[in-house]
Structure 1
Amino acid sequence: MRLSIGSLSKRSGVSIRALRHYDQIGLLQPSEVAESGYRYYDDAAIERLWQILFYRELGFPLGDIGEILSSPAFDRNRALTEHRSLLVQKRERLDRLIDLVSNAMKGANKMEFKPFDTSEIDALREQYAAEAKARWGDTQAYRESAKRAAQWTEADKAKLKKESAEIFAAFAALVGTDPAHAQVQALVSRWKAFVSESYYDCTDEILAGLGQMYIADERFAKNIDKFGAGTAQLMSEAIAVYCKK
């Protein structure tokens, strides 16, 4: 799919002015700018806008949203799952309101206030916001990540995806090997260098935190284990060994 800025504005409900602002601050850049100056957005950019709107719904400032989406820890499937849960809650509330109005039209006199209650939706929104803040936080590392990501071209993104996949696959091929083995430790060093070169300065402290997250978050582990069962566990254990040296 390829949409002009005007078409994207109509489909998303986001004003052209807002889309231009997102471009200026590096939050959502068009995938193509024609010689005429017209901005065009491909599928990846459109999906990023979905995520921006989701985190804006949770109350995050635009600067924080940029850091979250640019983080190597960002889990697309997790974000979509959370987004769906929030939408289901909203739909259920709307269904209750529709039933209330329908019953009133039929002459029902019962004064029901539950359909107006938004506490469940508010609680879910606050839960996801708290989880996101805890996962990414307001750190220099992620500010640096967002700054670098704002400069990426589509070719850069494809290259990063390919390089990270190669490293994950290399770890997967060594599942069952001692985490302290030189070959495994060399991969940890390679992963650390990749994160530092691509996102932010990956200190041993940050690396240790990433290693813990790879298995602490079941959904994150599942994403890594797509390269082979046990990959996340091996990475986590190998990183722990590396950081204790």
Structure 2
Amino acid sequence: MKVSEVAELVGISVRTLHHYDEIGLLKPETATESGYRVYSEENLETLQQILFFKELGFTLKRIKEIIYNPSFNRMEALEQHKRLLMEKRKRIDQILATLDKTIKHSKGEITMSNKEKFKGFDFSKNPYEKEARERWGDKAVDDSNEKINKLSKDKQQALGEEFDAIYRKLASIRHESPDSDIAQEGIKEWYDYLNRIGNYSYDAFKGLGQMYVDDERFTKNIDKYGEGLAVFMRDAMAVYADKRN
């Protein structure tokens, strides 16, 4: 299907689809000789997945991180979407009930307590994102940070110095091939370090490496040690994990 046909089918603008293409969220399967974008059935399934996440309040950047995570499972996600949307419907029903009571209260038909006036409201940061992050996101990173925060200041400083040494070593060899012996020895030190403060499977380790490139915050901090280090680490971590899976 051409971009205009997809836009009409879904009810979104052509500009939106062009934007998804530009940011790497949804790239058409092919393009015609005249330059028309052509979307496949698989593209449409991905677009549906994107819109489910959008309905739950996820940002496009976060959606991209999730659906292109190596551990992402489409069927699992669909089941999760169904459950979370049912929870969202329950919350909206509660807000509608509060609204109905407020109208009656304003007309003097009933009396509402202050607590009743705010029943159903939830201003926490996306109540549905926590579960998705735990399944496809950076739970391992958060767990590691929590463990570090519980350590004494001396131990935290020692870990920080070791972290810095590993990154400096990796930066010094970042122009080597990611599958070279020296690169793999260096990345093994990083894997061992992470598993002393957290619990990373090989898949999670590979996914973390991908996050170094997908999330500009990671890239910016890592590349302070040397431009291109984030990409080198992602590739070396993928090789390390794939050889052991």
User: Could you state the TM-score of these two structures normalised by the residue count of structure 1?
Assistant: 0.47
Structure whose alpha-carbon radius of gyration is higher? 2
User: Could you state the TM-score of these two structures normalised by the residue count of structure 2?
Assistant: 0.47
